[in-house]
A and B are shown apart, each in its own frame.
Chain A
Amino acid sequence: DQQVKQNSPSLSVQEGRISILNCDYTNSMFDYFLWYKKYPAEGPTFLISISSIKDKNEDGRFTVFLNKSAKHLSLHIVPSQPGDSAVYFCAASKGNQFYFGTGTSLTVIP
């Protein structure tokens, strides 16, 4: 059973515009959420996280929003840069249990 879902396998955005990546989860017990970025032939790199007690966390160009009632989180990247082109995974956790989505491939067009 897929407890974390990323329904958009790919996304293309013009450089300088906003990229919005979405993630849905099913387990209301998850209390910590993370976004990872992955380049080909590399492991996932931690990007940003949010605790379930918050609804927004910002770090530079990256902002994560959490909507607990909808069991939905999103990652906003603004402005998008060509170097942001990668696969983005969302993850949800409860204690030591981590569940990952299937990823969204972001392409930022110069």
Chain B
Amino acid sequence: DTGVSQNPRHKITKRGQNVTFRCDPISEHNRLYWYRQTLGQGPEFLTYFQNEAQLEKSRLLSDRFSAERPKGSFSTLEIQRTEQGDSAMYLCASSLVLRLAGEETQYFGPGTRLLVL
């Protein structure tokens, strides 16, 4: 399977705990995105990487959130001191962009569903 994979698929944690999610993009894709999706909403942008560089972060991404893509391949999203409001589906997407003005299609992973009790 050469699609985007995410682990774990489900995570239940207690408020105040730290959690870390992993995303493995489609190989050779140079961009990787993190989104959050809550019930009844579309995916909301959190942050994205071009290779290993984190180029943009949303205002939704508080300082409790940190993302890394150390070698330009897989990425991790960590949430520190989780709050009940962090409960959501966290989606990862990857894309291959060969030129700045090119059309970009993102391919999504299955998501990690987080429940903070």
- Contact residues of A with B, CB < 8 Å? 4, 9, 32, 34, 36, 41-46, 49, 51, 89, 91, 93, 95-103
Contact = CB atoms under 8 A, between A and B. Distances in A.
Given A32-B103, A32-B104, A34-B105, A43 B42 contact: no
A30 B6 CA distance: 29
Nearest to A103: B42
Interface stretch (B14-22, B61-69, B74-82, B107-115): B107-115
Bin the interface of chain B by size: 20 to 34
Contacts, number: 57
A96 B48 contact: yes
Contact of B108 (A4, A9, A43, A51): A43
Nearest to A100: B42
Give the secondary structure class of A's interface: strand
Contacts of B91: 43-44
Interface of B: 4, 6, 31, 33, 40-45, 48, 55-56, 91, 93, 97, 100-101, 103-111, 113
B26 to A, nearest CB: 12
Contact of B111 (A4, A43, A95): A43
B30 to A, nearest CB: 11
| Closest 8 pairs between A and B when the two form their complex, measured CB to CB | A100-B42, A43-B108, A44-B108, A43-B110, A43-B111, A100-B43, A32-B103, A43-B109
Nearest to A96: B48
A42 B111 contact: yes
A42 B105 contact: no
Nearest to A6: B42
A93 B103 CA distance: 9
